[in-house]
Each structure stands twice: as C-alpha cells, then as structure tokens.
Amino acid sequence: MLRRFNLQLTSSLHSVGFFVTRNYTKQMRRITLLFLICITTLSYAQNAGSIKGKLIDKEYNNEPLAFANILIKGTTTGTTSDIDGLYAFNDLQPGEYTLIFSFVGYETQEIITTVTSGSTIEVNVTMIASTAALNQIVITTTTKRESEVALLLDQKKAVEIKQSIGAEELARKGVNDAAGAVAKISGVSKQEGSGNVYVRGLGDRYLNTTLNGLSLPSNNINKKNIDLNLFASDIIQNVSISKTYTSKFYGDFSAGNIDISSKEYKGNGFFNVFTGSGINTRAVGKNFVRSEGTGYFGYYGRYKRNPFAVILSHGIDPVNVGAPINISYGASAGKSFDFKNGSRLSLFVTASFKNNYEYRNGRQTDFTTVFKKVFPETEVFEYSTTTTAMANINFRLDDVSKFKFNSLFISNSSDQVGYYGTNGQGQNRDAILNTDEGFYQMNVQFNQDVILVNQLIGTHKITENIKLDWAIGYNKVFSDEPDRKRISLENYQYALDNNPSTNPTFYNNIPFDNQRYFQKIEDDEFNSRINLAYTISDALKLNFGFNGRSKKRDFENIRYGYDIVDTGFQITDVNNFNSIFNVENLAINSNNGIYRTFVFNAINPPQIGQYNRPGLLENSYQGNLDVYAGYTNVQFNISEKLLIVPGVRVESYKQRIDYNVINLPNDDPGFRETQSTFFLPSLNVKYTLKENQNLRFSASKTVSVPEFKEMAPYVYEGVTERIGGNPDLLNNPSFSKIYNIDVKYEWFISKSELFSIGGFGKQINDPINLVIANDATGTQRYFRTGDKATILGVELELRKQLIANEDEDSELSAGFNATYMHTKQDLKSSSGLYSSTLNRTDKLQGASPLIINADINYSPTFGTFKPVINLVYSYFSDRISALGSGQLGNIIEKSVSVLDLILKSEINEHLEISFSAKNILDPSIKRVRENTSFGDVILSEYNRGMDLSLQFKYKF
Amino acid sequence: MKNNLFLGLFVFTILLNSCSTDGTADIIINDNSITNNGDGGNNGAQSIFLSGTYNEDLTLDANNNYKVNGSLIMAAGTTLTIPAGITVEALAAGSDVYIAISQGAKIMASGTADNPIVFTSDASTPQAGDWGGLILLGRAPINSVSGTATSTSEIASLPYGGTDAADNSGVIRYMRIEYSGGAADGQSENNGFSFYGVGNGTTVEYIQAYEGKDDGVEFFGGTVNVNYISVINAQDDSIDWTEGYSGTITNAYVKHGAIHDKGVEADGFNTDIGNNSNPLFFSKPTINNLTIIGLGSASGSEAVRLRAGTQGIFNNFIIEGFAEGFDLDGDLGDSPTGAGVLSNDLQVTGITFTDVTLKIKNDTGETFTETDFISGDGDGTGTDYATWGANWTIGNN
C-alpha cells in the first residue's frame, strides 16, 4: 500500500506551476536591502558568496519543510532542505542565480537572486500545495522519511555514521521486511533462511534493535535481536543502522544499532488492500505436511492444557495440508481529523497475513572427531506464517507539542516437519541394533512468537531553542515451542523394502530418545528515553538525556519421554505412530503395553513417580536486566566546516539470572548477578570538505554484556546439536569493554548518487564465543575465550545514476557496496562451572571477511506505463559459526550468493501489479566442520528453492 | 491384603470433553497402586535423608535407615564412610538422585562377602533407572584435556581429571548398586559406577551393578584398577571406557538381560571434544579374566565394540551367545583403532567363543587378519564368577 501511495504522489507532480506568496514579496524587499548594504561594503572583495534560507510549509501550520529540493537553474548544483527547513549554497561566485524550489505535491517556485562576493543572501520561501494536488486528498509530508533522497540527506547531515533505507527504496527493491531492508545497506548481510543480520560481519550478539528509539525484545530464546523478518515493509517508515556510537545509545553497542521507524500517516485519508500468491520451486508439487494441532493461521490451541493431557490425548503424526501455495493479503487505512483549535489527529492502521511453504531436501551430519550421526538424506517441510497489525495515532496538539501512540502486534509461526535418514542409510555410532544403516529420526516442531509493543512518544518544542523528546514503552513477548515431537528408529531400511516380516524398531537408549517437549518463554520490558535539546547558538547545541530499561524473562520447559517397554516392537507403518502412542498401548500394569511416559522431575516420588504421571518442570530460569543511564553531548560547530560532537554516557548496569536447571552441582547457588557502572565517552567529528563531501571521524568506548540465553545453564537439544549457557559469564569480568574507531569519506555526487569509503577498527576485551565445552557430553557453551579480539576493516559504497530521464529522475541506476575486514583473537582456556580448552589465534566467530551487496534499477517510461525492474545481489564469504576447542575444527557457515529480481508496474491509478523471483541462484546452504582428518566434513547442506510471487494492490 | 491385588495397578479414565475446542481430554488418574503411605514398606523406622553438598565428613551408622533423596556430593577434603552390611535406599526420582565423591574427597566403604554394602531404589516395585548411581571423580589423567585442565562430568557438572595417576579416592569393597542409571538426556547418563579420572591409589574390588538403566561400570579416563566386577542386566553397555582410561580390570563377569546394548563399549577418547592430550594417548586398559554372556547368537547382539582409537590388552576371555564377538570401528585419522591392532596395542590373548556367529568385524579402515588381533583362540577360560561372586551378588540365574 505504501508503494502505491508514493506513486500517487509522483503522478501529482505533473501539475506544478508557479506561485509566489505575499510572504515572499516581503522577503524580497528585505533581501534587496541586504543586498544594497552588502554591495556598499564589500563591492571590491572577490570572495565567493552564499545563499541560505528556510522553507516553510504553508499546508502544515507553517512548520519547516524538510527534504524539499533546491536547484540552481541551468546547473547541476542542488541541495535539499534539512529537517529544520534550512538549506544553503556556499562557495558561489558572484552573479545572478535562479533558484528552483520544489517538493512533491507542492507548487514549484523560481526565485532570482544575485550573489555578491563575501555575502550571504537569505532567501526564505513558503511552499504551498499545488491546486491540482490539493484536489487529491493525499498531500502530506509522509513521504519525507521514506524517500531515498531524503534518507541520503539524513545520512549526510547525521552526526554519527548512519545509513538508512526507506519505504520507497524498500518497495523499489522489492524488499518485504526489515531483514531484507538492512541487508541492502553496506556492510550488512543476512543469514540465508533466517532473520539473522550481520553488521560488518558481526552477528546477533553485537547488535541492538530498537523501534522508534525504544528497545525491542527478541522473539527467540536464541537471539538477542528480534527477527527482522517479522517487520513487514508495510509497517516500516524506514530502517537505519548506526555503525558508530553516540551517547544516546545504550552502552551495549558493538557493531551497530538497528532502528526501525514505524510507519506513520499524517495525510487526510486513504484505504487500500493487497493480495498475492506465490510458490517455492522446491516446495511446489510436494504433498505438504505440518504438525497436528496447529492452525492455518499459525496458532496452537492447547497452550492452556497440561502437557501431560496433551500427549495422552493427541498423537504425533504430521497431517497433510495439500498443495503448498503461498498466500498474502492485507489492508491499511489512514485518516486525519482537524480540530478547531488547530490540533490534528491522524490515525493509521494496517493488518496483514502471509504464509510461506518451504521444502528442504539435503543431508545432515553430527561430526566432532568421528561421525556420530549421519543422515545422507533429509527432508524438511516448513510452513510459516506472519500476522502483523499496527495502529498508530499521531496527535498534534499545537505548534509546541506532538504525541504519538504506537501499538504493534506480530505473530510469527514456523511449523517444521523434518525427516532424517529417509533413504534408510542413516547412521548412529551409538545405535544398539545396527550402527551401519537404518538410523532415522523424525522431528515435528512448531514455534510461535507473539510480540506486543506499545509506545507513547512525545515531542515538545518548548521554545525556539529548547526541544524535549520523550518516549515510554512496554513490550511483551510470548515465545512458545509447544509439543515438539521427536522419534528415533533403528533399521529404517526395513520400512523401505517390501518385506512385511522385517520392520524398523524404536531406538530406546534412554527414555528421551522418543519424546515430546514443551518450552515457554515470556518477556516483559519497560523502557523509556527522554532528551532535552538546547540550542544555545548556531554553533552550539546541547543534548541531555536519560534512558532506562527493565527487562525480565521467564523460561520453562518440560519433556515427556516415551520409554519403550516392548523394545522389539515392530513398526509396520512409519506414517502411523498414532496407532502406537495412544492410551491403549500405555504400559500401565507392569510391562503390559508398548510404552510408558517418562518425566524427569516426578511430582512426589516414589508415590507419584516418573512413569505414566504428569511431572514438574524440568528447567526454568528467570533473567533480569536493569539499565539506567544519563548522557550528554555537545554539537559544536567550530567553523562552518567542522562539527565536533563530544559526548559521555554514565550507565548503571545490573543483571541477574536465577535458574533451576537439571544436572548441576547441588552447591551451585542457582543464581549469578552483577552490577557495574559504565563511563562511556564518545567523539564524533564531521568535517565538510565541500558542500557535498564530508570527512568523518568517530571514536568511542562501549560495552557488550551477556544475554540471558548465554548465561542460563540449561541445554537445548537439537537433532544434531546441543547448546547451553554458562552463568559464569556474569563473574568478573561480567562484560566486555569495546574500543571503536571509525573514519569515513563520503561524497554526495548528486541528489541520488553517493560514493563513500571508510575504515574501522575495534578492540573487544574478554569476548564471548560459542565453543564446545570440556565436558563428557560435547555441549556447545558460551565462554569468555580470550583477553581481546581485534577487528580492522574497510567499507566502500557507490550509488550511481547511469541514465536519467528528462525530469532528471533515474532511468537506470546501480548501487554497490562492500566490506572487507580482518579479525583476530587470541584464544585461551577457561574454567569455572564449565571449562574449555583453547590455545591458538583465530578469527572472530560470526565475522565474514567479505560482504558484497549490489543492485541495478531500471525504470523506463512508456507513455503512462512505468514499469520498474530491479536486480538485487548479495554475498557473504565463509564465516565461523562456532569455534572448535581442543582437537575440534571450527564450524564454518559457507559463503552464499543471493540474486533477486523484482518487477513492478502500475496498471492504472487504482491497480498495481508486482512480480518477484527471489533466490534465483538457489545456492546450497552449507555448514562444515573444517580441519578434520576427513578434510572439511559437511554438517548440513540443503537448497531453499526459488520463490516466485505475484501481487496485486488496489487503492480506493 | 486384598489391596495388594491392586498393587502397581492404576487406571486412566479419559473423558473426551467435546466442549474444548482443542480436543484435549481431561485426564483423571485413578491410582490404586498406593496401598500405604509409609516409606515403601520398610520396618517403619525413621529414615535419615541424605542430600546436598557435605563440606565435612559423613559417617553412616549401620543401625540407622538412610535414604538418599537428592544429589549427595562429598566436597574436596571430606570422607564418606559407609559400614559393612548397610542397605541405603535412594529415592526413586531418577537421575537427580546420586552420590558423588568430588576430586579430593574419599569414600571409605568396606563391605564383606557376607555383609555387602547395598544401594537400591526405595520404590516398592523397583526398576532400572529409579535413581542415578555412584560417581567418583579424581585427579588422574584424562585425554579430553591436557595438563592440569579439568573436564566436567555428565551428571552433576563436577570437575575431573588432572595429572596425579596415583590419586586416591578411597576404598570400595563388596558393594552392590541396584536399579540405577537414570539419564538426564541422550548425552548425560548415570551408570551404576561412574569413575571419572579416578587414580590407582583408589581401591576398588568386588562391585556389582544390577538392573541398571544405563551402563554398569563406566570409566572416563583415569588409572584406577578394579578387581572383581559383576554387571547383570545393564540396559546399556555393561562395561564402558573412554577418555584415555588406562587401569587394569581383573576378573569381570557380564550377563545380559532382555534389554541391553554391548557387553563392552570402548572409546579411545571422548569424540565429542576430541583427544586433547599432549603427548597423545588413547584408552589402554588391561583386562584379565573376562566373561561376557549374551542371549544367544540369534539375538543379533554384539559383545565388544572397540572405537575411536582405543587400545587395550584382553587376556583370558570368554564370549558366549552373540551374533558378533568384536566390532572394531575407526579410521585412518584421529581414531586409529585398526592401527592399534597392527602395533600390538590392541590385542586379545586367550579367548573362547561359544555360540558366536562372527568373531570380528573390522570397520577401521586398516587391513588386518584375525590372527593379527587374536592369539590363542579357544584358550580362554574367563573368570571364576561362581567362586568370587558367591553370596554378595544377585541376579545370575
């Protein structure tokens, strides 16, 4: 809908005219006077002069008009008004200039002025909406922060090194969600098939995500950042990544801060709907399956039930769901109300649903120094859904105060049915009957994450020089993995032969080899920010602020094993486990039956024991994080060209984890806590080499603190991996100190063209890495693996217009960005509750040395028909997924290239059609363990398939 | 007494409640199995509960009733003393109920053939896996770490391993452990007796693991010598070693029940974290006088699995009633099991196969002949279990 909206605005550009307001004529007189004074005093100076001024938005209570274009007629020199409506041209040779002021939906104005040497001419202009546009009730400034040009300007003006991508570019590049969005920014890559984002090659634990400047919780136990795939582009105004630190950010800052600005609407009203459909080339034609008990919309109906009742009442077999056709639909609407006192209330609501079918055929191996489990053939069916709804209320009370209330709901589900060892050739070295073939596992897993975000945001322009911004937010997350089912068989090859007298049997080394698992996480977070900006003079601006966040997580899980009593039981139909795991076959009386349920923590043993009874929770933990900080920074314009922004933040950090987890020494206190105060200085410098070229420098000290999942000592058992936390991370040192240095040169060649090159260096003290612990179980855990890690890198970005049309809009343009970096860390052994053996130098976990993004945009005009074609490419090089300890090699995530094609065209003023082909190259997604005695051993490999989709949008 | 008819019997009643949208039934458990609320039918004397970490010595008194009702951990420097003839019950609550002797702690448990020390489940109808088992942790070398580093035990997450081959964890003599072996998950398993890096200053003789859910006796590295082992009806491997175990086992008797895995499962090192010893070494115990009785060659089981580069010297061996005698797994890289055969570090001297279909299966990648591995086929006499196992062991029918 957002795309359509922009196009409508563009079309209104065709009816522009000239209009000079009365205001302007008054202004003219003053300028002439000024001009006269200047000419008398400086007539012989041969210095260059300048023109500056302010643009006023008549349609919006005479507020400053940002992001309007100002062009010197007959030249390519142009600029854009900033957020305060200000613009300037410097270094102009004396002479007469015609300035063209334009803004989408507004009358274009031409003003003639004369510059004399050494003088500064002030030209203030009030912009008024074009009459044609006024008839269409969509004249707003909504596009401001969505357009690429505006965001490029934002980047140019920004104090820190910051890059953004707006709704317009998202739509143009066919990006569906925030994860795709950030991946278009230089130095950013996305892990294929997940929402994991890497900034300059640094992964999840080194990033923060905020929504409108307020922290956002993660939806996933294994992540710190929310899955950006959950933010459909319909609810994004823009996404920005700040790669350098300023004191307004939380001190836990390493590679970058991702801020999503939620979409807001200030216009007079609109309503539109969209619907689409698509396929995945590998999923199409498959007879698709998903979990029993879950719905089409990605909900699970048994959350309130005791898991024991669930497992006795319901079977484990997946259900058929028919043809895998992806569907999406949604609607959005906006409306504004004006009050007599000048207040304006704007509403924006949007809701959408989409689903996706993916089929992954591949192989999977658990290899350490030997092949523990080998599945030469695996099949995974994944059905996922995303439901989003957002309501946004903007209330502009008066010229002083504006309020915004933002409420966001996201429900995201993934329903995976995995079959491992489908060709009967699976191996398990610990198999009992046959270690050479026939090991097979089925894993049926449903995950649902529900996120609720509520934010109240206010801005007050108390005086001309004092501006107050504040926001408070409350976030709630429910992350559930209800009723995961895992089955393990031996001699599966007998299910594939046609001999009814040979059949597979259950693998029952321990009662949990066949199991059902329930996991539940609930997060609550309050957070707030307040900033007071005080402009003392043009040269000096002060910011004072406060941030606070208080976050709590509750985690719990329980497993029920199927202890097979009839160990030789012949499984005649591997697609009908329901005929086995039902109440009739429960071995209630001694060993009369096929199986018993088994729980780890019995309610009251031996009377209410582990078998055939409900049980107590197996693991639980509660995490608490409290951060309060005050900060200040000074924007100090030492000269026209030099801006320095020193800042400091003092942050109080308190973290505690309480856990009740199986399999710990009984004298472990069951909690860890830490409290520290950070003193974090930062310095950002911007030197304007020329009007359109900046040189930037930035240095800061930041920290990195452990996450709940890294500290909670419970172990999550995947099909071929075990990962657990380590509470000792909260022992001294309980955080990593980070020193950051950045330099960058940027050249804004034209309004939509950019060249930049930058270098960066970081030192991370006491870094945390995921390594295989020294324990008898081979579990991966988090350790502080060394004294320090260092990172050195360069990044390059180029956006170039290749062919422009007569309106100077790009017809063919290309963008390219790349990051290359070198990382190094000295690894050391550590001990405590868990220990690890490391003694070498290696690269940093999660860092890709090379990241490349490129895109080509072609938007020809055939009369009124304006299709847009985009080709988008991204690449990341091999990176360490987990460090090998001792004799073990590292686990490497192999490089991936992704190519997407997006076609879009407006058919008429109501209807728009778009087509996309994503993941055209369909590369294999591979993880390997390197440097083994077998060379590089493939741990997993599959292809995701190409996604083809067609979408229709209709605006009323 | 009529109630006893219902002992161990209870009934599930499923009411299919059509009102609930999710179709989940209400589960009502009518449990008639509990006939008294005592402590499992004992003599009624008050039990003394044992659990927690002991930072001072603990001495049990043969006149008291004890019940281990959680994890009982003896901290470094303490001694657990257990008198002969005592039977200690463990709460049938699974793998969280166990006794662990930490590095630097000692167990002094000297039973006799007539008065053995018994650890058993408190359940009225005990079954395998009712509780964890006995765990000893020492400072003898393990090959999963090098030097003074330690590793962490599967159960209890306690440290083990070190450089003191002669480390002394105390004395165990005439001890039987029943119904143990509850597992936390596929990788964290209790056994009957778990020896983690236990040194050869420790005395262990006459031990029996009976009806265990997991392994009977497992060695995670260490140098401890054990004389007279009996493992009956272990549901997993009866004798298991890994992480560079290098002690001597003299006289061991293994008998399989209906549910079982291997008689001996042996790894040269812990393949989850690799062989990190420097200089490199593999498990290499010496086993004298070993008898393994299976369920017959038709049952399809295997007696001895040798993996991950393990070495070892088997002298005087009987294998009876298995489809496979020895199954050797390895490769030409980090797991040189076959190379051990060729270098005479993995050898069998004096063995008798009875009712064994295939004597040796070689999956090591190396080529060797049966005589490279075995000498004296037909000469094995095994162990004289009838003599040394008399009185204090159970279950050998």
Provide the pLDDT confidence category of residue A14 given band limits of 50, 70 and 90. very low
Bond into A733 cis (ω within 30): yes
Peptide bond into A606 cis (omega under 30): yes
Does the beta-carbon distance from A510 to B10 stay under 8 Å? no
Angle subtended at Cα A724 by Cα A719 and Cα A725, rounded to the nearest 5 degrees: 160
Beta-carbon separation of A606 and B9 below 8 A:
no
For residue A883, give the nearest of A786, A763, A739 by alpha carbon.
Answer: A786
- Tell which B residues from 302 to 321 touch A, by Cβ distance under 8 Å: 305, 307-308
pLDDT at A750 over 80: no
Averaged pLDDT, B307-318: 95
Element at A5 (helix H, strand E):
helix A2-11
Q: Is residue B382 predicted with pLDDT exceeding 90?
A: yes
Render A483-522 in DSSP notation, one character per residue.
EEEEEEEE-THHHHSS-TT---EE--SSTTSSEEEEEEEE
Question: Do residues A622 and A607 make contact, with C-beta atoms less than 8 angstroms apart?
Answer: no
Check: CB of residue A384 under 8 Å from CB of residue A412. yes
Is A58 a residue whose pLDDT tops 80?
no
Contact A272, A4 (CB under 8 A): yes
Which own/partner pairs from A580-583 qualify as long-range (CB within 8 Å, at least 24 positions apart)?
A: A581/A311, A581/A315, A581/A316, A582/A315, A583/A312, A583/B12, A583/B14
Nearest chain A residue to B15 by CA: give it. A313
Which DSSP category does B5 fall into? Answer: G
pLDDT band at A158 (very low <50, low <70, confident <90, very high): low
Q: What is the pLDDT of residue B34?
A: 52
Instruction: pLDDT band for A888, please (50, 70, 90 cuts).
Output: confident
What's the residue count for chain B? Answer: 397
Cα dist. A453→A262, A396, A474 in Å?
11, 22, 6
- Residue A274 has a CB neighbour count (10 Å cut-off) of 21
> Best residue in A292, A294, A300, A313 to probe B by mutation, most B CBs within 10 Å?
A313
Q: Quick one: closest CA in A to B242, which residue?
A: A776
Residue A260's CB is within 10 A of a number of other CB atoms, namely 24
Residues A308-329 have a mean pLDDT of 91
Cα(A926)–Cα(A360) distance, integer angstroms: 12
Contacts of B397 (CB under 8 A, 6+ apart): none
Supply the pLDDT for residue B149. 85
How many A×B Cβ pairs under 8 Å? 233
pLDDT tens digits for A570-617? 999 999 999 999 988 998 876 578 999 999 888 888 788 888 889 999
- Choose the weakest-confidence range: A176-190, A398-412, B367-381: A176-190
Q: How confident is the model at residue A89 (pLDDT cuts 50, 70, 90)?
A: confident
Please state the pTM of the whole predicted model: 0.83
A739: closest CA of chain B, how far (Å)? 32
Distance CA B397, CA B392 (A): 14
Q: Are B186 and A561 in contact (CB under 8 A)?
A: no
Is the pLDDT score of A557 beyond 50? yes
By DSSP bridging, strand B203-210 and strand B170-178 are parallel
> How confident is the model at residue A161, as a pLDDT?
61
Dist. CA A817–CA A807, nearest whole Å: 27
> Beta strand B65-74 with B87-90: parallel, antiparallel or unpaired?
parallel
Q: Is residue B37 predicted with pLDDT exceeding 70?
A: no
**Adjacent-strand bridge partners of A925:** A942
Helices (H), chain B: 337-342, 370-373, 385-388
* Backbone torsions φ then ψ of B20, nearest 5 degrees: -75, 135
Residue A821 near residue A792, CB atoms below 8 Å:
yes
Task: Give the C-alpha separation, A682 to A760, whole Å.
Answer: 15
3 state SS of A955: strand
pLDDT per position as a tens digit, B65-101? 999 998 999 999 999 999 999 999 999 988 889 999 9
The DSSP code for B186 is T
Contact state of A666 with B53 under an 8 Å Cβ cutoff: yes
- At residue A7, φ and ψ (nearest 5 deg) are -65, -35
pLDDT at A177: 61
pLDDT the model gives residue A264: 76
Average pLDDT over residues B159-182: 94
Q: Which residues of A touch B276 (CB under 8 A)?
A: 837, 886-887
Count of Cβ atoms closer than 10 Å to residue B114 Cβ: 10
Q: Is the ipTM of this complex over 0.95?
A: no
Residue of B nearest to A308 (CA): B27
Mean pLDDT, rounded, of chain A: 83
Q: Per-residue pLDDT tens for A835-851? A: 888 888 999 888 888 98
Least confident range from A232-236, A356-360, A446-450, B40-44: namely B40-44
Q: Contact at 8 Å (CB) between A478 and A298?
A: no
Q: Give yes or no for a contact between B231 and B263, defined as CB atoms under 8 angstroms apart.
A: no
Query: Measured between alpha carbons, how far is A13 from A819 in angstroms, rounded to an integer?
Result: 38
φ/ψ (deg, to 5) at B375: -125, 150
**Positive/negative CA dihedral, A279, A283, A285, A288:** negative
Top pLDDT among B3 and A773 is at A773
Strand-pair partners of A812: A803, A858
Exposure class string for A161-173: b at 16+ Cβ within 10 A, else e: bbbbbbbbbbbbb
Query: What pLDDT does residue A190 have?
Result: 61
